[in-house]
Chains A and B, each alone.
Chain A
């Protein structure tokens, strides 16, 4: 075995573990599932039905069968288990590195409740689905209580879909007052989630963005200059992606109201706020939650996740339809809503996630929700204290943070030339995920950490130790860090296809067309 490092036999008792994990990611070198397809291979041999075959009419029959992979059950299972191993998520790792996205633990018991509603058909008669309608109704009341809003819609399939529904309601509200054409601007801030700007622009609004002032809060003088008769709404996150809470938020809302605009609160991530303060308390007219960021449902990567839009009473007529209503004889769907913005997706919502969020809140209760916010804030401040002890790490605008922090490696970069994303790639060699920031990078060489309530003190110590180790490596051997990752499923990827329409391929069909033909 000359030429290979000799590892000694593992012996009992097990040797003490080193401070940092000797991690190595699974590397299955797994082909795409379409490449594994074999003609005629089946997952289930369906027995003959015993009734005459019926040919579907020409009008609904597709000309060619769909190009689905033909696989056996074992091979389908094995494929997806392998992919799940080549991953870094909450269930394997200390997933505090995806700030603003909030990777918290989803209790597994809630999967059993979610599975139970999988039996339902979305077109079942209302009197046969009273139980699930009650869950919708009760979750709506809980989120109304948490936000202080009058009504809440659970129809949107994701956080951004909820923001879009809010923009649609803002538009419908101004149109109902004959001001739809005049009010053509939406104001947001540079550190609000960019979906606010994106949704407003998609809905046809001109977007005016406010920059942070010297204290890191959005500049209220800029807002004063921006509001006016063209203002449809302010769409703002607070605390922003920096983790800084804007203490003058009620003044922001007042300024917009004085100009006749609406104020819309992005509470996608309410982890620092639950039971502490509410959208209604600052005078907001609308808000939204991401069920996956705050209420522990799966992220689902663009849907089906779960979003919830809350509105004050004067905006109730514009809510997505149908709404779930409670009457003397049970629950019903109200589809007669002439001013509604209509449906944001088919049927009621992402029911399994509604059930998960309901179960999560019920398990915690009111005091438990407040404790979530307190622990999330405490965890974040504990982690910040550890991170800011690492030479080269900093947090612009001071240490007054709620549930997350956007940090900077500016000093480390200037000393070593190692960039933030290279630190992240090296951190992955120790089994953790890491993220930089939305664009543009206002904070130089940024990274954004959000520990939430899920993680233990030992988890946070481990994460901070990994960052400290990698930052130290950057000073001792920058080439080592820049060459990372070494212990991952794949090495570096070329990022250019992500921005190039001629190359990007979100589906097998697109990949085949652009790269294999």
Chain B
């Protein structure tokens, strides 16, 4: 059967990076980036992905958006684009002048807003897999469209912390070509760029999308399995529950794996919120930092955290409720239970897990080696490092 792919390119993704702007959200930033000599590169990166895809699946159909939002890339990669969405013809929202920046397209009707991405994604609901080129902001726009199909990010933005991106454009194309319908959940996170420019990292988890389940190998297996084990989250959750101690409180951070812990306990915990459980019961769901601070004040308390995104954040991404004061209480009375599959840890390429609550002193309390629970009766000792040391904005 002919596979059908969607492609949506955010043509302004990545503009701010070379200009040192830590992001490209908003027309003012985009104008500034161009003034500093940046040029749009998302189209080139998307073209690389499409080229890799078509090399393996020359029979693939590619539905895309008009002009620099995808059509141009597909054509440049030697494919035949099927334009499924075009921006309103009246649009003239280009925040800059200078047509040189877009040699392949007319700059007059250049779409640049998140609403365009969202609308384009909605127009491609029926595809087998939707590729989008951009960064975390683009991923949020894709998420806003509630795509019915699995998606995969082509990394082209400045901030690429979300777990829904492939490691390189060519890998995105290859993964798409190999996609056979098996999916996994991946997080969409984004930083507050304004805060980041002021020197503070204030990101959050926005939700999850379905992505192709990564496949790490085909042959040469003496041992082990290369297929993602659908039971791994359950196995990890089972181990967490087995380690839970009577009378102790457990703060469950956001994420699919921590939610599996709640499910294992038969509790209605939240995917995106922070919940507190004790002795098999739900103490509080979706708590704020202030409420949490009151709940951890007292007896033994542990935090159960999943690794958010591809960058290894365990604190400060999507779980800001576990702020510095909460973390201090937890580190003095219990500790951290970090959850990840072995493949996820391997994907970090040796980089440490990161803590970034906004308070380097509190982050330092969480630093050091922790056993990361990777399955039933198994863990990997892994280093948590304060983000301020590894990644200074």
Contacts and interface: CB of A to CB of B under 8 A. Distances in A.
The answer on A and B forming one complex is yes
Interface stretch (B22-30, B36-44, B82-90, B341-349): B341-349
A321 interface: no
Interface string A204-247: 01111111101000010111111000000000000000000000
Contacts of B91: none
A208 B55 CA distance: 42
Contacts of A348: none
A141 interface: no
B46 to A, nearest CB: 15
Which of B56, B349, B374, B380 has most A Cβ within 10 Å? Answer: B380
Contact of A208 (B170, B217, B379): B379
Contacts of B246: none
Given A197-B378, A201-B378, A206-B378, A421 B369 contact: no
B377 A201 contact: yes
Nearest to B368: A225
B118 to A, nearest CB: 30
Interface residues of B, number: 38
A468 B226 CA distance: 27
A470 B101 CA distance: 40
B170 A226 contact: no
Contacts of B174: 417, 419
Interface stretch (A124-132, A170-178, A337-345, A492-500): A492-500
Contacts of A419: 174, 218
A438 to B, nearest CB: 6
A440 B346 contact: yes
Contacts of B383: 219, 221-222
A205 B377 contact: yes
Contact of A495 (B173, B219, B222): B219
Contact of B381 (A222, A425, A499): A222
Contacts of A206: 377-379
Nearest to A193: B223
A398 to B, nearest CB: 14
Which of B171, B370, B381, B382 has most A Cβ within 10 Å? Answer: B381
Given A208-B381, A210-B381, A434 B346 contact: no
Contact of A211 (B218, B222, B381): B381
B226 A439 contact: yes
Contact of A434 (B56, B173, B218, B220): B220
Contacts of B219: 421, 424-425, 436, 493, 495
Given A222-B369, A495-B218, A439 B223 contact: yes
Contacts, number: 119
A414 interface: yes
A435 B223 CA distance: 12
Contact of A421 (B217, B350, B377, B382): B217
A222 B168 CA distance: 31
Nearest to A209: B380
B298 interface: no
B350 A212 contact: yes
B371 interface: yes
Contacts of A194: 223-224
B380 A421 contact: no
Contacts of B369: 219, 221-222, 224-226
Interface in A480-509: 482, 493, 495-496, 498-499
B52 interface: yes
Contact of B216 (A425, A441, A498): A441
A414 B170 contact: yes
A439 B217 contact: yes
A479 interface: yes
A478 B219 CA distance: 18
A441 B349 CA distance: 10
Contacts of A414: 168, 170-171
Interface in B346-393: 346, 349-350, 368-371, 374, 377-383
A440 B216 contact: yes
Which of B171, B342, B349, B350 has most A Cβ within 10 Å? Answer: B350
A484 B225 CA distance: 23
Nearest to A498: B221
A309 interface: no
Contact of B342 (A223, A434, A440): A440
A210 B372 CA distance: 10
Interface string A400-440: 00000000000001110101010011000000001111111
A300 B2 CA distance: 44
B15 to A, nearest CB: 24
Interface of B: 52, 55-56, 168, 170-171, 173-174, 216-227, 342-343, 345-346, 349-350, 368-371, 374, 377-383
7 contacts: A197-B378, A209-B378, A435-B222, A439-B223, A440-B343, A441-B216, A499-B227
The list of the 8 closest CB pairs from A to B, nearest first, reads: A225-B369, A439-B224, A440-B346, A222-B381, A436-B220, A435-B220, A206-B377, A209-B380
Given A198-B223, A413-B170, A437-B220, 12 more contacts: A201-B378, A207-B378, A208-B371, A208-B381, A221-B383, A415-B170, A417-B174, A421-B220, A438-B224, A439-B216, A439-B223, A444-B349
